[in-house]
Amino acid sequence: MNPADLGLPVDVPSTALFTDHYELTMLQAALANGTADRRSVFEVFTRRLPEGRRYGVLAGTGRVLDAVENFRFDGAVLEFLRERAVVDMRTLDWLASYRFSGDIWGYPEGEVYFPGSPVLRVEGSFAECVLLETVVLSILNHDSAIAAAASRMASAAGGRPLIEMGARRTHELAAVAASRAAYVGGFTSTSDLAAGFRYGIPTVGTSAHAFTLLHDTERDAFTAQVASLGSGTTLLVDTYDVAEAVRTAVEVAGTGLGAVRIDSGDLLLVAHRVRQQLDELGATDTRIVVTSDLDEYAIASLAAAPVDAYGVGTQLVTGSGHPTCSMVYKLVARAESADPKAPLVPVAKKSSGGKTSIGGRKWAARRLDAEGVAEAEVVGTGPVPTALADRQLLVQLVKAGEVVAREPLDTARTRHERARAGLPLSATQLSRGEPVIPTEYA
């Protein structure tokens, strides 16, 4: 059984109202003046990375494909729009049969990106493309922010497992999406059962302080947990006195105790003391898991500590200080008429304040140096240079309204590992700096 095929009871039947009011009023006006059917090209990109970040991570592409497929205006939705007089009857009739029939190209999920990278390109009539703006941006901005934070944490962890534990720190549905994005970015498991059910992500968990406090003594709590879950379980050892708890844990579970978890205090100091104590007690294979408001900087500070795994919650699901990627969805080209053969004309916003954009339907490629390391993100609107023909980044995701590039989540996760490994070594530095490679326009 593929858990993703089952869906979740909390799944919404339609994504059509995950949009802004003005998308529909633009549609109404375009239908009225005859421009709705003009062939159009919209692109998703960000003008800059969050301050100090060296690269971005694209996540949420698979969820975007689901959202596009489920973008349907059913009876209840149409009645809501009619009662509120959001649009006129002509527009309601048009929405009743809405099905996206265009093409979508984009960076494959898990790929890295830089300022100006056209991470998604949506092509079709103006009417069918403009409606997708908000739902596309809400997914990509959220998921890519989480994946970028996860990637930095995975780099800092140096191969040690990372557990996503942020469900109680965000909206219940955002928690599922965050877990998925964290997995793409390098986390190995989640505490969120909904994410495990929906996406097949490995789930883990044992007990909290409440279980220890429930019992008359810490020994009673450990005994109950080991009796139920086996000696391979993870015992939480910082409810009272850590040294005493470690001693009791080994006495109860034996030297085959799976792991102990530390959730407070000076983690660097405590981890060293606990490792020494476990070794002295003969529990040399017992692992140490640390939690407690970790972020990439805290994880990096524990690089020399005898820590075997990290559990991260709040900082992960809030993007470690950057909960959005500031991606935008802009019209970059449109036909001069509704004639299917009419040529595309580049269009772009001209304004002050750093909000200008570059018109034209774009391609993107990553140029490598002689050692095979990325040295530039090249974005262009004309012919692709021969030297970059086999380095193009955009792949077709939707063709004539049909999804053609759905893939397992592990594929995106593996792709990200490969993409990050192909960047200059400075990409993994946590110190503030510019994007690790420049964006060049051809």
Residue 37 CB-half CA count within 13 A? 10
**What is the mean pLDDT of the segment spanning 282-290?**
98
- Per-residue pLDDT, averaged over 283-291, amounts to 98
Query: In this predicted structure, what is the pLDDT of residue 166?
Result: 97
* pLDDT level of residue 163 (50, 70, 90 thresholds): very high
Side chain identity at residue 207, one-letter code = S
* Mean pLDDT taken over the chain: 95
DSSP designation for 10: T
Q: What is the pLDDT of residue 14?
A: 85
Q: What burial class does residue 74 get, using C-beta atoms within 10 Å of its C-beta: 0-12 exposed, 13-18 middle, 19+ buried? A: exposed
Residues 275, 280, 284, 288, Cα dihedral to 10°: -20
Q: Residue 134: helix, strand or coil by DSSP?
A: helix
pLDDT at residue 110 above 60? yes
What's the pLDDT at 357?
82
Quick one: pLDDT band at residue 352, thresholds 50, 70, 90? Answer: low
DSSP labels, 248-305: HHHHHH-TT--EEEE-SS-HHHHHHHHHHHHHHTT-TT-EEEE-SS--HHHHHHTTTS
Confidence label for 104 from pLDDT (cuts 50, 70 and 90): very high
**pTM of the predicted protein model:** 0.94
pLDDT band at 414 (very low <50, low <70, confident <90, very high): very high
pLDDT for the residue numbered 349: 85
Q: In the structure, what pLDDT confidence band is assigned to residue 7 with cuts at 50, 70 and 90?
A: low
**pLDDT tens profile 218-248:** 999 999 999 999 999 999 999 999 999 999 9
* pLDDT above 50 for 9: no
β-strands 162-164, 259-262 pairing = unpaired
Tokens 């097949």 sit at which residue?
Answer: 200
Helices (H), 282-387: 296-301, 314-317
What number is the average pLDDT over the span 174-181?
97
pLDDT of residue 351: 72
pLDDT band with cut points at 50, 70 and 90 for residue 353: low
Average pLDDT score over residue span 153-157: 98
Task: For residues 256-276, give the mean pLDDT.
Answer: 97
Q: What is the mean pLDDT of residues 298-317?
A: 97
* pLDDT score at 252: 98
Q: How confident is the model over 135-157, as a mean pLDDT?
A: 98
CB atoms within 10 A of CB 108: 19
Cα dist. 191→9, 168, 175 in Å?
A: 19, 10, 10
**What's the confidence (pLDDT) of residue 355?**
75
The band of 8, judged by pLDDT with boundaries at 50, 70 and 90, is very low
Mean pLDDT of the region 350-373? 89
Q: How large is the average pLDDT for residues 102-123?
A: 98
Please give the Cα distance from 118 to 140 (Å, whole number).
12
Q: What pLDDT is attached to residue 320?
A: 97
pLDDT at 121 over 70: yes
The pLDDT value recorded for residue 5 is 55
How would DSSP label each residue in 42-65?
A: EEEEESSPSTT-S-EE---HHHHH
The CA distance from 283 to 313, in Å, is 28
As a whole number, mean pLDDT of residues 86-97 equals 98
Pick the residue with more confidence: 263 or 349?
Answer: 263
Predicted local distance difference test score (pLDDT) of residue 2: 52
For the chain, report the end-to-end CA distance as a whole number of angstroms: 47
